[in-house]
Structure 1
């Protein structure tokens, strides 16, 4: 089944994320795919948004990007060490797309499991 029309509305979708989502949605009915995308779109993070949260670490509170990606321990560590003396924040600036992709892949798998089990 072609999910291109369903996935077209997701903002900031990278080619890697698109391919991953097609794999996750493989075998879903049209109704399941629509429910999956609706649920997933509310939970996923846009790479641009995560970049902005990382930049806040330089001027305000460090570690917000880690809290948003459910890495609570790292978020607390960044908060109390000023982003590991800004080195960790710089690394996160460089790797923000991979951090976002990793988070979105986890969220996609969780959402797909819930849709397939009939939880949503």
Structure 2
């Protein structure tokens, strides 16, 4: 398995790909394959986070927070209509950062789950 396998993940940016390559540099090809399979199932695409954030303008605010496992903030966003739209705008702007932070945690959790 080569280092370009991570490039096949949807919406991956250079920073994330480099971080994943550094994380998995000591893995055997089989372990890299197992890691990629688990991580791919847990990872959130930044574009999906953006689209779901924009749903907040249609009255369904907070779904993006549920997607990144921030349940309490998702409930608050839902009740307050995305802090009257301001929180929804901020989340739409920061959607890539939200996805990157979530994906970084999930990569570490995936490695721990596999015992790597």
Alignment TM-score > 0.5, same fold: yes
Unaligned runs of 5+ in 2: none
User: Are residues 1:19 and 2:18 paired?
Assistant: yes
Q: Distance in 2 between matches of 1:67 and 1:73?
A: 8
Whether the 8 Å CA contact 2:61–2:77 is kept in 1: the answer is yes
* Alpha-carbon distance, 1:3 to partner: 4.0
Aligned pair count? Answer: 116
SS of equivalent residue, structure 2 residue 8: coil
User: Are residues 1:91 and 2:100 paired?
Assistant: no
**Larger mean Cα displacement after TM superposition, 77-86 or 6-15:** 6-15
Matches within 5 A, 1:57-72: 57-72=56-71
Unaligned runs of 5+ in 1: none
Provide Cα deviations, 1:42-98, integer angstroms capped at 9, x if missing partner: 110111111110011110310000000000011011000000111111000111100
Q: Distance in 2 between matches of 1:7 and 1:82?
A: 36
Matches within 5 A, 1:1-120: 3-116=2-115
SS of equivalent residue, structure 1 residue 27: coil
> What TM-score, normalized to structure 1?
0.91
Whether the 8 Å CA contact 2:49–2:64 is kept in 1: the answer is yes
Q: Distance in 2 between matches of 1:79 and 1:99?
A: 18
The runs of at least 4 aligned residues of structure 1 exceeding 3 Å deviation read none
SS of equivalent residue, structure 2 residue 11: coil
Q: Distance in 1 between matches of 2:15 and 2:4?
A: 17
* Alpha-carbon distance, 1:5 to partner: 2.8
